[in-house]
A = this chain, B = another copy of it.
Amino acid sequence: MQNDLIALNAEYAAAIDDDRLEEWPSFFTERCFYRITTAQNHQRGLPAGLVYADSRQMLADRILSLRKANVYERQGYRHLVSLPLVRSQDGERLRVETGFAVLRTVRNGSTDVFASGRYLDEVVRNRGALKLRRRDVVCDSSRIDTLLAIPL
């Protein structure tokens, strides 16, 4: 199971970093929940997120908009994902927590930390493969880039 979780996170990160964004929704179940929020909002139990989707279709739509939008200037992203911590297991449903950081390389060539935080996931086994039924992306920073576009 541990190996499957590691592979899930590695594939997820590589799809985004390689700009294969159209593959991103396939890591989720059909009905799912995806949210980007801040540690502060998460701690206060505020439901609002910076980004929110509750179906695979919504995730796909998000990528479509992103591709069409002119504001989208492709920069280099590099996910660094920690080892997953399984918090609980209930049959085929796992609650998993995983630390991450995303580095960004801008046009002039310099690289900095774009985001860091943790994934709070609900993972299920779907026809053999692990899928995300829910991913809460809880960012350490409360200052999130307003042009935030790529999935985290």
Residues of A participating in the B interface, judged by any CB pair closer than 8 Å? 2-3, 6-7, 9-11, 13-14, 17, 39, 76-85, 97, 99, 101, 103, 105, 108-113, 115-118, 140-144
**Known contacts A82-B10, A101-B78; A109/B17 CB under 8 A:** no
In the complex, which residues of chain B have a beta carbon less than 8 angstroms from the beta carbon of A82?
A: 10, 13, 79-81
Known: A14-B97, A77-B140, A101-B103. 4 other contacts (CB 8 A): A10-B84, A78-B118, A105-B116, A112-B113
| Copy total for this chain | 3
B143 and A99 contacting across the interface, CB-CB below 8 Å: no
Q: Bound complex: CA of A117 vs CA of B117, how far in Å?
A: 20
Q: Bound complex: CA of A99 vs CA of B81, how far in Å?
A: 10
B101 and A39 contacting across the interface, CB-CB below 8 Å: no
User: Could you say which of B3, B140, B141 contacts A2, with CB atoms under 8 Å apart?
Assistant: B3
Q: In the assembled complex, how far is the CB of residue A106 from the closest CB belonging to chain B, in whole angstroms? A: 9
In the A-B complex, the 8 residue pairs with the closest CB atoms: A109-B143, A76-B140, A105-B140, A111-B113, A78-B116, A109-B141, A10-B83, A105-B141
